[in-house]
Amino acid sequence: MPDASEVFYFADSNNNRQGPVSASDIVRLIGEGIIRADTLIWSANLVDWRQAAQVVQFEHLFARYTPPFDPPPNYAANASQSRGAPGATGFAGSQGQSVTPSGYLTADFEVWGLFWRLFLVAIGSFLIVPAPWVNTTYYRYIGVSTALPDGRRFTFSGRPGDIWLVFVGIAILGLLAQFVPYGGILLNLGSFALSVLVLRWFCSHLGTEDGTTRLTFEGGIWNYIGWNFLLGLSIVTIIGWAWVAKGLLQWLCQNVRGTLAFEFTGTGSAILWRSLAVVLASIFIIPIPWMARWYAAWIVSQIQVSAVRG
């Protein structure tokens, strides 16, 4: 059963209660214009009914939900023939292809759904052999639990056999780094290089159900290694690492190319205080699953998306 805090109700135009619906359904209904900024929403983690634009999980959809450019001049004439419409599938162009409005990604990670997958990745990587399967399960979950600003969800077609040797290699290098004296730097070099291959695999297998989304990761291996070593060195500054982490996330997003463009807009200070909150809460152990979901969903919500005109 879904977490009670992930089930929502909303008031329709006649002030009748509708629901229950999931967070992803709320995002879709916002994209379709059925739920507006002043539509009342309620869930178990809200004390009372609240306007949609005032619900933290959805407020950014109203503050930043604007198309990157005007619809084509012949949009109205072709609207009845196109597959898309302003709403759940974005603005439809003259060829019937979906154009994603500018906005931010949203994620509806479940508390235990995310946590048990992270736990399996840790166990599977330690045991090495299951690494390709547990990692693929994790990446698929991240992909299909994330939605574009217009409510369209991602699909993921990657399989464990695609790059199983890469996942096994990362697991072996990670394990050796714990036991090989003074060999950690070279082992990390190999692990970072293989991680770029994982990023390329992940992006190339991401799509959307309408088939209009095509992505690749074009970041270089040495650039990725450089960012990660800089991140490691910045730990000695106590707080400076958060701004390096922001730079790394910006670099990662900027190197995802294709039919969509991505930009990480989070700040170093936001990364810092949220990371400290996660560490402090994790001391008590029990909050760890909730903090992991909170942190991961925030990272996703800071990624701005726009259509690439080409």
Q: What are the tens digits of pLDDT across the range 148-194? A: 988 888 999 999 999 999 999 999 998 898 887 766 788 889 999 99
**Partners of residue 258 on adjacent β-strands:** 215
What Rg, from alpha-carbon coordinates, does the chain have?
21
Contacts of 104 (CB under 8 A, 6+ apart): 60, 61, 64, 149, 301, 302, 303, 304, 305
Domains and CATH numbers, the chain: 4-85+97-104 (3.30.1490), 106-307 (no CATH)
Cα(261)–Cα(210) distance, integer angstroms: 18
**Partners of residue 21 on adjacent β-strands:** 8
pTM of the model: 0.70
pLDDT mean over 20-27? 88
Q: Per residue in 200-254, pLDDT tens?
A: 999 999 998 778 899 999 999 999 999 999 999 999 999 999 999 999 999 999 9
